[in-house]
Amino acid sequence: MATVRLATPLRKFSDGKPEITAEGATLEEVIKNIDSERPGFADKVLENGEIKRFINIYVNNEDVRMGEGLKTKVGDKDVISILPAVSGG
């Protein structure tokens, strides 16, 4: 199962824990699987089937927008970070 690190506003879906584990062969599947256990999660992260404007998602520290987006492949030992986009600078 992949590790999913959650930004603070998403920790209400994890009882306050900063990270959870989830199954799925792609990022999209991982988000769907989390949502099935924790309803409302996908709506927080996605809009019209895309990652929300103000959210960045990284798989193994790589911004998925620079690659395959929600179709990014995810392995068992991979780490997914879901973070606010408006940060730094």
Partner 1 sequence: MSSVTALRCRNCGEEYEVKPVSICEECFGPLEVEYDIEAVKEKVNKKTIEKGPKSLWRYKDLLPVGNRIVDLNPGFTPLHKADNLAEELGLKALYIKNDSVNPTFSFKDRVVAVSVSKALDFGFDTIACASTGNLANSVAAHAAKGKLNCYIFIPADLNLGKILQTLAYEPNLISVEGNYDDVNRLCTEVAGYYNWAFVNINLRPYYSEGSKTLGYEVAEQLGWRTPDRAIIPVGSGSLLTKIWKGYNEFLELGLVDEVNTRITAAQSEGCSPIVTAYRSGSDIKPVKPNTIEKSLAIGNPADGYYALRVINKSGGGAMASSDQEIIDGIKLLAKTEGIFTETAGGVVVAALKKLVEQGEMDKDEETVIYITGNGLKTQEVLIDHLPTPAKISPDLKEFDKLLSSKIKKEAVPWQP
Strands 50-51 and 19-22: unpaired
Q: How far apart are CA 27 and CA 46, in angstroms?
A: 12
Q: Could you give the CA distance from residue 66 to residue 69 in angstroms, rounded to a whole number? A: 7
- Residue 53 CB, nearest distance to partner 1 (Å)? 7
Segment contacting partner 1 by CB under 8 A, of 28-36, 56-64, 70-78? 56-64
Binding of partner 1 at residue 72 (CB under 8 A)?
no
For residue 60, give the amino acid letter: N
User: Does 48 help bind partner 1 (rule: CB under 8 A)?
Assistant: no
Residues in region 2-41 near partner 1 by CB under 8 A: 5-9, 12, 18
